[in-house]
């Protein structure tokens, strides 16, 4: 049995505290104040949202130049509206082409969903008709909760399972509103979906996030059959920061350093990973955008300097954890993403294809921005359909393989 390492980081010294006081900026003081206020007795737990709000403000301030530049470029580019419409119109064709060779031609011979002008977020009530149970505990901590999505008339045989990890820049980890279109689509097809909450910075620095995700996977492997799910086929997906966490979880199956709070023998492996506009590199500082991102990680999420703790960042970087036994991956990203540029996804996919022995798919949606699955009805239907086709293909092949082994 693998010995679980005791992961410990040295606490702050008087010297490091003085260094922080001399170098901290206004945002650092605001974050420190919010964290300190949250530790107050009785009222502290009610003040935790203040820390998340402050951290989100820090994140927004760092990305404001990218948003402004993107908007300015859109306003001054000739025929920009026509180009955007062309990008939307080709969504189905681009998505279908990306799946050729990954799923069968028969599976692709379908009527792809028509572009919908209604933002998916406005269809919240329609999507949530598949919510079967809310606020199920997947761990001992107060915030370790999940919702179960499934059809009421689920067939008797165990259903494939998807765990959905919401995004939020590692400072917001709520299952509210995120992933609804995808989970509704999969639930309609007979899947059991688990949408999770997890701990976030600044009150819970890294690696609390991935610890919670691993805890949810272990819970599913041990308990999802109570809701009709197949404990032997569990996949994971996430958007933005959730895409990072899903990818990292998939690449570090049963890694003792990532699941120190779990009992010995807990299974945190997954059978496939879907990364949707995720962040896959926690080390690269090659661009201005990535330098700003790394500064955000250091100050808010990890609360450690990259130069002094490079191993912490490297171990949390999915692109650095790719190995030949990686599970099947499908990565979905938009070329119009100004928060996490599409180059991040391209590099990650290239590395996966070079190293992994499993299936690797990549759907690059022309013009799609960050959070398109909540705001862009023209692309969300195609993306959900593509993910469903990919996952059903993986599940069908895994089931056939299992049947052959039994014979």
CATH code (residue 303): 3.40.50.1820
Average pLDDT, the chain: 85
Does 406 have pLDDT greater than 50? Answer: no
In the chain, how many domains are there?
2
Is 24 found in the same domain as 113? Answer: no
Least confident of 136-140, 189-193, 291-295, 326-330: 291-295
Band (258; pLDDT cuts 50, 70, 90): confident
Residue with the bigger pLDDT between 358 and 403: it is: 358
* Residue 78 predicted with pLDDT over 70: no
pLDDT of residue 20: 43
Whether residue 333 sits in one domain with residue 199 = yes
Structure confidence by residue, pLDDT tens digits, 10-36: 555 666 555 545 554 554 444 444 444
Please indicate, yes or no, if residue 6 is contained in any of the structural domains.
no
Please give the residue range of the domain that contains residue 252.
80-406
**Residue 107 and residue 19 share a domain:** no
Rounded Cα–Cα distance for residues 40 and 265 (Å): 37
Flag whether 8 is in a domain: no
Do residue 139 and residue 250 come from a single domain?
yes
Instruction: Supply φ then ψ for residue 145, to 5 degrees.
Output: -125, 155
Asked if the model's pLDDT at residue 70 lies above 60, the reply is no
Is residue 1 one of the residues assigned to a domain? no
DSSP label at residue 370: T
Q: Tell me: do 258 and 152 sit in the same domain.
A: yes
How far, in Å, are 2, 19, 33, 213 from residue 311 at the CA level? Answer: 21, 22, 28, 20
DSSP 298: I
Classify residue 101 as exposed, middle or buried by CB count within 10 Å of its CB (0-12, 13-18, 19+): exposed
Residues 237 and 376 occupy one common structural domain: yes
Residue 260 lies in a domain: yes
Report yes or no on 85 lying in a domain: yes
Co-location of 50 and 84 in the same domain? no
Q: Do residues 116 and 18 both lie within one domain?
A: no
Residue 2 resides in a domain: no
Phi/psi at 363 (5° precision): -115, 115
pLDDT confidence of residue 235: 98
Average pLDDT over residues 173-196: 95
Tell whether 126 and 200 lie within a shared domain.
yes
- Degrees to nearest 5, angle at CA 353 with 350 and 356: 135
Mention every residue, 6+ apart, whose C-beta is less than 8 A from residue 5: 256, 257, 260
- Number of C-alpha atoms within 13 angstroms, CB side, residue 59? 19
Average pLDDT over residues 259-277: 94
As a whole-number percent, the residues of the chain with pLDDT over 70 amount to: 78
DSSP state letter for 110: S
Q: What percent of the chain has pLDDT over 90?
A: 68
What is each CA distance from 29 to 20, 26, 51, 286, in whole angstroms? 10, 5, 11, 28
Question: Catalytic site residues?
Answer: 240, 337, 370
Say if residue 155 is in the same domain as residue 48. no
DSSP H helices, 309-376, are 310-315, 342-355, 372-375
For 347, phi and psi rounded to 5 degrees? -65, -40
Task: Say if 55 falls within a structural domain.
Answer: yes
- Do residues 348 and 319 make contact, with C-beta atoms less than 8 angstroms apart? yes
- Domain identity same for 151 and 255: yes
Burial of 277 (0-12, 13-18, 19+ CB in 10 A): buried
Q: Find the mean pLDDT for residues 163-167.
A: 97
Indicate whether 298 belongs to any domain: yes
Taken as a whole, the chain contains a residue count of: 407
The answer to whether residues 51 and 141 belong to one domain is no
């Amino acid at each position: 049995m693998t010995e679980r390492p005791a992961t410990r980081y040295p606490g702050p010294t008087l010297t490091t505290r003085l260094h922080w006081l001399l170098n901290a900026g206004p945002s650092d003081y605001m974050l420190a104040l919010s964290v300190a206020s949250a530790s107050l007795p009785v009222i502290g737990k009610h003040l935790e949202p203040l820390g998340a709000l402050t951290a989100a403000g820090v994140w927004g301030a760092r990305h404001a130049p990218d948003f402004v530049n993107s908007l300015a470029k859109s306003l001054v580019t000739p025929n920009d509206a026509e180009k955007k419409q062309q990008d939307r119109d080709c969504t189905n064709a681009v998505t279908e082409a990306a799946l050729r060779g990954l799923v069968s031609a028969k599976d692709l011979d379908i009527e792809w969903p028509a572009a919908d002008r209604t933002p998916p977020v406005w269809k919240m009530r329609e999507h949530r008709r598949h919510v079967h149970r809310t606020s199920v505990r997947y761990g001992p901590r107060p915030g370790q909760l999940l919702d179960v999505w499934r059809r009421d008339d689920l067939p008797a045989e165990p259903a494939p399972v998807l765990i959905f990890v919401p995004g939020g820049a590692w400072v917001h980890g709520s299952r509210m509103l995120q992933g609804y279109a995808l989970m509704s689509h999969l639930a309609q097809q007979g899947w059991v979906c688990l949408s999770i909450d997890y701990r976030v910075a600044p009150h819970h620095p890294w690696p609390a996030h991935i610890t919670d995700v691993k805890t949810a996977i272990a819970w599913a492997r041990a308990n999802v059959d109570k809701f009709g799910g197949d404990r032997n086929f569990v996949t994971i997906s996430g958007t933005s920061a959730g895409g990072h966490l899903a990818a990292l979880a998939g690449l570090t199956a049963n890694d003792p350093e990532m699941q120190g709070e779990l009992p010995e023998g807990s299974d945190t492996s997954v059978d496939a990973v879907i990364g949707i506009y995720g962040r896959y590199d926690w080390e690269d500082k090659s661009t201005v955008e990535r330098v700003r991102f790394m500064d955000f990680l250091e100050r808010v999420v990890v609360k450690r300097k990259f130069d002094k703790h490079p191993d912490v960042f490297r171990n949390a970087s999915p692109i650095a954890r790719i190995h030949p036994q990686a599970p099947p991956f499908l990565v979905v990203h938009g070329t119009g993403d100004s928060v996490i540029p599409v180059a991040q996804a391209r590099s990650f996919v290239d590395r996966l294809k070079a190293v992994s022995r499993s299936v690797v798919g990549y759907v690059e949606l022309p013009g799609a921005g960050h959070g398109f699955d909540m705001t862009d009805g023209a692309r969300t239907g195609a993306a959900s359909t593509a993910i469903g086709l990919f996952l059903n293909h993986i599940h069908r092949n895994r089931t056939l393989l299992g049947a052959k082994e039994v014979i």
